[in-house]
Homo-oligomer: A and B are copies of this chain.
Amino acid sequence: MFAGCCALRLRMRILGALRGGARLKDAQQRSFSSAQVSQKDCSLPNNCWNQDLKRLFEQFMKKCEDGSWERIPSYKPQQDQDYKTHLLDAKKIKEEQMSLARLFTRSLEDGLGFEYVMFYTEAEKRTVCLFQGGPFLQGGPGFLHGGAIATMIDGTVGTAALIFGGIVMTANLNINYKKPIPLLSTVIINSQVDKIEGRKVYVSCTVQSADEKTLYTEATSLFIKLDLDKSLQ
């Protein structure tokens, strides 16, 4: 159990590094630098979360009390966003752009883009994402862009593959869009590791309304485990 716990912590640290934001829970952060600790945990409620998102968050936090589920914190860097588009030197522009690199799903201001929190349970090999899509994620008028849903699906199944399979890369994402998702509504992305065969990790998921009465989207995915020793050579 201890070994499993340590392995999980290691995987979560790598998850944090890979995803540019996710970190272990507060008590486990002491070994991180003070700069990282001062970052804002975006997977906690803010004023822009709607009632459904807050209610579901509380429900899952209750499930965490006995340790069967865990919340995955997710940090956004408080970087200087004063981006100078007037510069004419191509090299300087590229350097400046790269210095601003940040996780896609945490790149927008509170309430405008991806508002979400993820939880996982080891016993069931499941990861759940509670997600509210903001006004900057619009596709057709009043609805979420298909790419924004794909992004949160990739994030959720990817987190499941990483926690339960190890360091992975997305190889395939197959998404069936059944109904459009209204902008600013809350959805539940429920992902499940279906099987692990050698280096292949198969994860599926559903995207449902907050009351679980509407199935918006279904997806399957395949991840390939990376051999870090080989990758670093």
Which A residues are closer than 8 A to B by beta carbons?
Answer: 17-20, 46-48, 50-51, 83, 85-88, 90, 93-94, 97-105, 107-113, 134-142, 145-148, 150-155, 158, 169-177, 180, 183-184
**Chain B residues closer than 8 Å to A88, beta-carbon distance:** 47
Nearest residue, chain B, Cβ from A137? B104
**Chain B residues closer than 8 Å to A110, beta-carbon distance:** 85
Q: In the complex the two chains form, is A135's CB within 8 Å of B86's CB?
A: no
Could you name 27 residue pairs across A and B whose Cβ atoms are closer than 8 Å? Answer: A20-B139, A20-B141, A47-B87, A50-B90, A83-B112, A97-B111, A97-B112, A100-B112, A102-B135, A102-B136, A104-B136, A104-B148, A105-B145, A107-B108, A107-B136, A107-B137, A147-B147, A147-B148, A147-B150, A147-B154, A150-B151, A150-B154, A170-B177, A171-B176, A172-B175, A174-B174, A174-B175
A107 CB to nearest B CB, Å: 4
A16 CB to nearest B CB, Å: 11
